[in-house]
Chains A and B, each alone.
Chain A
């Protein structure tokens, strides 16, 4: 399909190589099978993680400890190509790299980094991130999970987390909990007694992704389990800002896959003696989808440049997440209508992307919260307090 704006001409040779490597991986290893994973509600993480690790995707934007150390735009391009496969695949990579590895890399002790980062970069160890709770989603400050330190220095963790990607398959969980000194992060091996992570079933979205609850029932942790480098909500929020950056690129990939499917279908499906793509109603849909896709791609590229320059602000990430996920969901819905009845089957990628994007709209900061972030940025008046 013609990229009307030739946006990828703006990429460096190296970024294009990253794109081609991930695109090749997705087209060979993921696209032929992802429809079945979605239907069966499975994600073969133990098979894919080492492959993603040897490609270098896991923690690719981090330095050292076996990570590739690529720039932000390369990370974005990789997320875009992964999500052109499936949002579940990109979610796996986002959670591993930005939510589990990033806090250990940024706030962890040398021992925590040595223990976990090389294995996680290789895909031998899988991580998850526990912030959201059953009763605290958009308002994490009210979390009820607690960690209490006894005189020996050991910690005891109690509480529950919900909607945790990779939870049931993780080897390590980065868990945020209230302590006497504020919110702290803990590196919790999932083999620790008292830790359990049942999978959440009956989802109609992100079916090729593992989503779980986490329960902590007197989980005893050594003093060394706490992330020494951060106290307060800014810890988890900085991780989410990293992951949202991946999302605002990723959804461009999902949207592109939908538009490609719609163009292919519109030019081959014949009704009334001509391809339906020759009808003005269809062309209008395709044209606006392409305009939205181009705008989303431009937004991602611009924010990538800001991130590489070190000036990207959280409200700009909110702008990108808000604008690009909405654009992607609109494109997916339009594509679905172009494909008619075929659009609702897993023979085509469109309904899968469309359903996935409903989760992406909500997770990592809902549309509503990101809207309020921009509202506050414009007026100086915080509406959620």
Chain B
């Protein structure tokens, strides 16, 4: 089975993240780039499927040249090879054009199963898996907390507000996973050493037959019009218990839609 895991490099959530003042895109130089946490779960799931059913795991990353760090991490975890889609023309692509660029690349490199994290910690749109499936014309099985492969059928448990749905489809398919699905392994030192020798193919947009006028900031369907720093945390509200503390606490929780 040919499994492709889409892996994204995101700014480290432990550091201050910024948008650029000139074109209002993410300032990738302001923070260290790390592998998006949910992508680690996607890599882990791909490795588990490979271990159970055989095949090959390819990491696909679209991002600037410094995203090679993230690719190496996924390879150190145990993926077999990687494809790095890197081109200045991709800068500023929104979710729609990112899904187009990744779909074009996936068509070129081939796949039986595409696995993604259900969202990234930077943009948090959570739409890429659905868009990708649509562009590829394959079933989409999103928000999986469990994935089973049986021959050419893939079954997942999709997390919902009320529990879970069991969703089944035939391969090829696109799956997105949530953090309940597994516990990602640490890259072993042998894996770190082996990662140096694993092949990483670098593709530009022409190589992947991506039309320049459908990607990048200028072609984005969505636009960041304005942004502001989050306000500093305000002081808490102190409620004095005068025999009605329970009711007041419930009122507060209800006002915030917690209950």
Contacts and interface: CB of A to CB of B under 8 A. Distances in A.
A25 B189 contact: no
Interface residues of B, number: 13
A67 B190 CA distance: 8
B144 to A, nearest CB: 24
B188 interface: yes
Contacts of A257: none
A13 B72 contact: yes
Contact of A68 (B69, B189, B196): B189
Main DSSP-derived SS at the B contact region:
helix
Given A13-B69, A13-B72, A17-B76, A55 B193 contact: no
A182 B187 CA distance: 44
Contacts of A188: none
A55 B72 contact: no
Nearest to B196: A14
A70 interface: yes
A70 B189 contact: yes
A21 B72 contact: no
A17 B188 contact: no
Contacts of B196: 14
A21 B73 CA distance: 10
Contacts of A345: none
Contact of A54 (B73, B76, B188): B188
B252 interface: no
Contacts of A56: 188-192
Nearest to B192: A17
A78 B188 CA distance: 12
B192 A55 contact: no
B193 A70 contact: yes
A68 B191 CA distance: 9
A17 B190 contact: no
A153 interface: no
Interface string B116-131: 0000000000000000
B221 interface: no
B189 A18 contact: yes
Contacts of B192: 14, 17-18, 21, 56, 68, 70
Given A14-B196, A17-B76, A55 B69 contact: no
B186 interface: yes
Interface in A1-36: 13-14, 17-18, 21, 24-25
Contacts of B191: 56
Contacts of B76: 17
Interface in B84-123: none
Nearest to A14: B192
Interface in B177-199: 186-193, 196
Given A14-B196, A69-B193, A70-B193, A55 B188 contact: yes
Interface in B25-45: none
A25 B186 contact: yes
Interface string A57-74: 100100000001110001
29 contacts: A13-B69, A14-B72, A14-B193, A14-B196, A17-B72, A17-B73, A17-B76, A21-B186, A21-B187, A21-B188, A21-B189, A21-B192, A24-B186, A55-B188, A55-B189, A56-B188, A56-B189, A56-B190, A56-B191, A57-B189, A68-B190, A68-B192, A68-B193, A69-B193, A70-B189, A70-B192, A70-B193, A74-B189, A78-B189
Given A21-B186, A54-B188, A68-B188, 10 more contacts: A13-B72, A17-B72, A17-B187, A18-B189, A25-B186, A56-B190, A56-B192, A57-B189, A69-B193, A70-B193
Interface of A: 13-14, 17-18, 21, 24-25, 54-57, 60, 68-70, 74, 78
